A and B are shown apart, each in its own frame.
Chain A
Amino acid sequence: MFDFIIRHLLSFLIFVPVAGAAALLLVRDARAARSIALLVSLVELGLCVPLLANFDTATATMQFVEGLDNNLPWIKAWDIYYKLGVDGISVLFVALTALLTTISIMVSWKAVTERVREFMAAMLFLEAGMIGVFTALDLFLFYIFWEAMLIPMYLLIGVWGGPNRIYAAIKFFLYTLVGSVLMLVAILAVYFAAGKTFDVLALMQYKYSYTFQLYAFAAFFAAFAVKVPMFPFHTWLPDAHVEAPTAGSIILAGILIKMGAYGFIRFSLPFFPDAAMSWTPAIMVLSVIAIIYGAYMAFAQTDFKKLIAYSSVSHMGFVTLGIFALNSQGLEGGILQMLNHGVSTGALFLAVGIIYERTHTRMIADYGGIAARVPVYATFLMIITLSSIGLPGTNGFIGEFAILLGAFQHSAPYAVIASIGIVLGAGYMLWLYQRIAFGTITNPHNEHLADMNVREVAAALPLVALVFIVGLYPNAAFSFMHASVSNLIQHVNAKAQVAPAVAQIITRALGN
């Protein structure tokens, strides 16, 4: 039995939540629904233990593979197969998904009181979709998961969201869909160009013509850049976060927006290395703008959640900066920063949710002075704030520093400008903390705030632990990545010709 599970671990990871969601249909009671969902998410978390423990960090090849030899056809006429596998780039995201889902279910325990069963089912479907995205090795299968994930998230925002939820949900759905549709076109183009295959590993080996790459890269970019979100495609994110329920925000910030960056690493770079090189300067510039602009926008926010949303734009700018530096420090730093951001921003939204449940306001001005009333909460928020501003000793520092190292080697000016983001980050986060926790209580409603309860502490503790574990021993995370990342870099460099920058192509075209 155990052996069977190990051999089909990824399928289990995808279908256990689906089965859990189906089981939810059988119960009526809200309490039972919560318990079943939590149980399923814990089983899922348990499945991640053998995943990480049996993962061979020494190799870059796909592991826990299923159906790689085309023995699991799905739509055979179109060469669509069921293929799964993880490598050092994706494996940690699977684990993070399982962890954040569990935390999200815990934090929704009391916060969600209506349609609990449906809510929990949506959470579990979402989890299945996300794990599918990180493990699919068939491009079509990937696309199905990629789009399938949108639906539960759309529902989470649209049904259980705030007052302006319909606007936010539709904006989120359409914006990401438009990008994804362009990607679908490119997926089909790639399928035909490479001789009718959706096999991701085969597509990586195929050499596409330079012009083809330029367009296909741009089409994938449309999907991924919206998802990240990169400047100037970011405006759906603040709206979605503000309206989403706490669980939705945690998943959105923690996992969903990582998929854009993951897509760059998994598909854009290995498929289209020449185009990637050509597009790099433009992407680096957009990344640096996102870092500074996102941070700067955060200063202007009066809404707790919106501020964190803009800080996410800034942090994800670091991620794309690192990825496109295309060296080991930048890429591994970028991947680690994605995980870090999942942990610390997930925790920040958890913190917002905990306090929102008590006060029903997200306005920063409605707080102030709560440190004296809720010391445990204030400590939790402080630790996460420090992680978010990248204090050495926390996870945030390791990611940012590795990215800056990578970017500096790629081209120093980007790193110099990005470093300004670190100064700004300290500014808006500490100012936020001050306005929430310090001073005297001005809002009488906050006089009798209750501190975090055991359930909330239990939800927060794993994230706090990760902040320090990664901060003090990041090699635990990096060791998973080394082989896959260096393999990727070799692959890209071997495949890529000396490619002109897009800017040069345009000037040349204009010159002619």
Chain B
Amino acid sequence: MLKYALIPLLPFTGFLIAGLFGKYLKEKAAFVAIAGVVGAFVLSVSVFLDVLGGKIIDENLYSWISIGSFSVNVGFQIDQLTSVMLLVVTTLSSLIHVYSVGYMHGDKGYARFFAYLELFTFFMLVLVMANNFLLMFVGWEGVGLCSYLLIGFWYEKKSAADAGVKAFVVNRVGDFGFILGMLLIFVTFGTLDFTDVFKAVATPAANHTYLLFGAEVGVVTLIALLLFVGATGKSAQLPLYVWLPDAMEGPTPVSALIHAATMVTAGVFMVARCAPIFSLSPTAMNVVAVTGGLTAIFAATIGLVQNDIKRVIAYSTISQLGYMFLGLGVGAFSAGIFHLTTHAFFKGLLFLAAGSVIHALSGEQDMRKMGALRPKIKITFWVFYLGSFALAGIFPLAGFFSKDEILWSAYSSSELGRVLWVLGITGAFLTAFYSFRLINLTFRGKSRIDPEVAHHVHESPKVMTIPLIILAFFSVTIGWIGMPGALIPHSNLFGDFLAPVFPAAEHAAEGTHGLERWLMIFSVFVALAGIRLAYSLYVKHTAWPERIAKGFRGAYNLLLNKYRVDEIYNYIFVDGLVHRVARLLYTVGDVKIVDGAVNGIAKLIGKTSDRGRRVQSGYVQQYAFTMGLGLALLAGLYYILK
């Protein structure tokens, strides 16, 4: 048990040391942090080998909350799914820690940065290791906190601080669903433990239905949908994706670790963890799949026209997360997790490589002020190139295998799946296009770099390039652990490894391998077409993009302004509900009406007693007259009543 507890506790210790003594440690804080996270990595490898050897763990550390019939423990569950996540998280986190040593060098918040990064790793590990919903929620909100702290890391910049708050609050909206989901789970099944809940969904308790807005909804569907609301927040899906692009205000290693490779995939992980619940509700599954499919293409279209190098990758992340949900929604849980894994490597790589570009250009992020960087920063270029191929889904790089497994699963699942396949394949074209638009604008063509900046262009130090090279290696190879059976029979090691965790998917008949192969070739062809188009527009005929933008001004501006969703949300929620309505309700409702009533009563009493006071005039004659009148009245009453 100690070994398991140490996995999150090592980074936590690193956090405490770097956080409390950062002032004295200065840049040495990085060593403490790296020691913590690498320790967690080593233990994760050992745990993975244990799981590979068949050792599944579900143990409680101590009773956390216990009131009446409600009881939750702090405990860990380590199964195949968790062990995969542990490896992904600790590998990426270790590499990005090392990279940050170079990237953050000289920043005045150096120790604080590493402390937050450690705290994040701690919470992320708690999230994936928890054996019940509530502890998972601790990690879930904890990573959200770190995301908030790291987005607003340069808190003196207003846009950064704003983006942090936005991220946290939007995530809270999702968490609203998560919390309600947990409440409903407890009320229905009497427990929040994964194992017990997943057993209980097969019992009659799960057949309960609720009447919601006139429709009969099964409790399992309701639970699944509520949990999924939480997932859309954390994993930036429609309609709660708006925080992720703004999150790019954070330092680039943060974008790589938190806003690409790990935290944002927590929603995907959670849905996969809850596969026994989701798979019982076709409605919920369809909602997941459709949300994923729509998000995939929606975000990709925005990514087509953005000029900020990090924002392009951010929209790409939203889009790729959509693919993962698409996979989960059509029942291909292991495909979704597979894409999560490959994506973690190549998207982490792309962000870090983008960071290397920004580093080289003294902080410039606008691609309109880049170009022709290829000969100057060769390593960065090559890893970026490989990462983009992986993202575009070119055979035999990582993205190809995972994306194609999802697309094929969608295609072979149902009618709806085929519609989603169309969305997915269109998205694949867009993905290839925007990836290579980015490459071409940044590394090829003519230099549009500010001459001041151009002097200082330099390749990043080894401490940054070595993690890049390692990630590039994985971006090429990691997909090979999940080859489709259609290419080489029985070679989907990844899927086989995870199979015990997920409900058995209905596998397409063996005879369809031919079709699957054709679809694969088709998707590679589509990706190549996207790459070719990007080459035409941004290397050969560089005047065309502007002409196209002019020709379709309306559509172009709509995309450039991200469908104006931010503006609409701002108008309704921030300006409207938070500022105007709250202000009005306060000044009129609380001050005038509620408090006005209180003060009004006080005034009324004051006025009446003021009148009453006049009776006591101080004139003896008046008092004598009143007394006489009273006596007469009493005497009169006495005689009448006698």
Q: Residue B68 at the A interface, CB < 8 A?
A: yes
CB interface residues, A 375-395, toward B, < 8 Å? 386, 391-393
Task: List residues 141-195 of chain B with CB under 8 A from any CB of chain A.
Answer: 141-142, 145, 148, 152, 155-156, 158, 161-162, 164-165, 168-169, 172-173, 175-176, 179-180, 183-184, 186-187
Choose the segment among B59-67, B291-299, B452-460 that binds chain A (4+ C-beta atoms closer than 8 Å). Answer: B59-67
Contact with A along B573-600 (1 / 0, CB 8 A): 0000011001101110010001101100
By a CB distance below 8 angstroms, the chain B residues around A393 are 138, 142
State the CA gap A301–B583 with chains docked (Å).
Answer: 8
CA distance A472 to B134 in the complex (A): 12
List, sorted by A's number, 15 A–B pairs whose CB atoms are closer than 8 Å: A171-B598, A296-B585, A297-B585, A332-B67, A392-B137, A392-B138, A402-B70, A419-B179, A422-B176, A423-B172, A430-B148, A430-B168, A437-B155, A473-B64, A474-B64
Contacts known (A438-B161, A439-B161); A422 close to B67, Cβ less than 8 A = no
Closest residue of A by beta carbon distance from B580: A300
Interchain CA distance A297-B586 in the complex, whole Å: 6
Main secondary structure of the interface of B (DSSP, over half): helix
- B148 contacts which chain A residues (CB < 8 A)? 430
- Mark out the residues of chain A between 391 and 430 whose CB falls within 8 Å of any chain B CB in the assembled complex: 391-393, 397-398, 401-402, 404-405, 408-409, 412, 415-416, 419-420, 422-423, 426-427, 430
Assuming A296-B582, A371-B155, is B169 touching A430 (CB within 8 A)?
yes
A296-B582, A300-B586 as given contacts; A333 in contact with B67, CB under 8 Å: yes
For the complex, give the distance between the alpha carbons of A440 and B159 in Å: 12
**Inter-chain contacts of A437 with B (CB < 8 A):** 155
* Least CB distance, A335 to chain B, in whole angstroms: 10
Q: Confirm or deny: B615 has a beta carbon within 8 angstroms of a beta carbon on chain A.
A: no
A window 249-288: CB within 8 A of B = none
Partner pick for B173 among A175, A236, A408, A423, CB 8 A cutoff: A423
Q: Chain A 431-463 against B: per-residue CB contact (8 Å), 1 yes, 0 no?
A: 100100111100000000000000000000000
Closest to B192 in A: A405
Residues A402 and B586 in contact in the complex (CB < 8 Å), given A419-B179, A437-B155, A438-B156:
no
Q: Tell me whether A232 and B594 are in contact (CB under 8 A).
A: yes
Bound complex: CA of A426 vs CA of B171, how far in Å? 10
CA distance A422 to B182 in the complex (A): 15
Q: Which of A301, A402, A438, A478 has the most CB of B within 10 A?
A: A438
B602 touches A174 (CB 8 A): yes
A299 close to chain B: CB less than 8 A: yes
A-B contacts besides A296-B585, A299-B582, A391-B142, 12 pairs, CB < 8 Å = A392-B138, A405-B70, A405-B183, A409-B187, A415-B183, A423-B172, A438-B158, A439-B156, A439-B161, A440-B156, A474-B64, A478-B65
Cβ contact within 8 Å between A235 and B187 = no
Question: CB-CB < 8 A to A472: which residues of B?
Answer: 64
A327 sits at the interface (CB 8 A): yes
A432 to chain B, nearest CB (A): 10
| Complex CA distance for A204 and B183, rounded to whole angstroms | 33
Query: Which residues of chain B come closer than 8 Å to A296, judged between CB atoms?
Result: 582, 585
Residues on B with beta carbons closer than 8 Å to the beta carbon of A300 = 582-583, 585-587
Please give, as numbers and ranges, the residues of chain A lying within 8 Å of B65 by CB-CB distance. Answer: 398, 401-402, 474-475, 478
Residue in chain A with minimal CB distance to B20: A379
- A129 interface residue (CB < 8 Å to B): no
Q: How far is the CA of A386 from the CA of B148 in the complex (A)?
A: 12
| CB pair A405 B186 closer than 8 Å | yes
Task: Sort chain A's interface into a size bin.
Answer: 35 or more
- Evaluate contact between A392 and B70: CB separation under 8 angstroms: no
Question: How would residues 227 to 262 of chain A score, 1 for a CB under 8 Å from any chain B CB and 0 otherwise?
Answer: 000001011100000000000000000000000000
Contact between chains at A439 and B155 (CB < 8 Å): yes
Closest to B141 in A: A392
Cβ contacts under 8 Å, A386 to chain B:
145
**When chains A and B are docked, how far (Å) is the Cα of A419 from the Cα of B65?**
20
**Chain A positions within 8 Å of B158 at CB level:** 438-439
Is A11 in contact with chain B by the CB < 8 A criterion?
no
Say yes or no: is A341 at the interface (Cβ < 8 Å to chain B).
no
- Indicate whether A482 reaches chain B with its CB closer than 8 angstroms: yes
| Contact B585–A327 (Cβ < 8 Å) | no
Q: Determine the distance from Cα of A281 to Cα of B618 in the docked complex, in whole angstroms.
A: 53
Q: Within the complex, what minimum Cβ distance (angstroms) separates B344 from chain A?
A: 24
CA distance A329 to B602 in the complex (A): 40
State A106–B142 Cα separation when bound (angstroms). 33
Shortest Cβ-Cβ A-B pairs, 4 listed = A328-B68, A300-B586, A235-B595, A438-B161
Chain A residues with CB below 8 A from B187, complex form: 408-409, 412
Contact with B along A468-498 (1 / 0, CB 8 A): 0000111100100010001000000000000
> Nearest chain B CB to A291's CB is how many angstroms away?
13
Q: Is A372 in the interface zone, CB < 8 Å from B?
A: yes
A328 — which chain B residues lie within 8 A by C-beta?
A: 67-70
Check if A132 is an interface residue, CB within 8 A of chain B: no
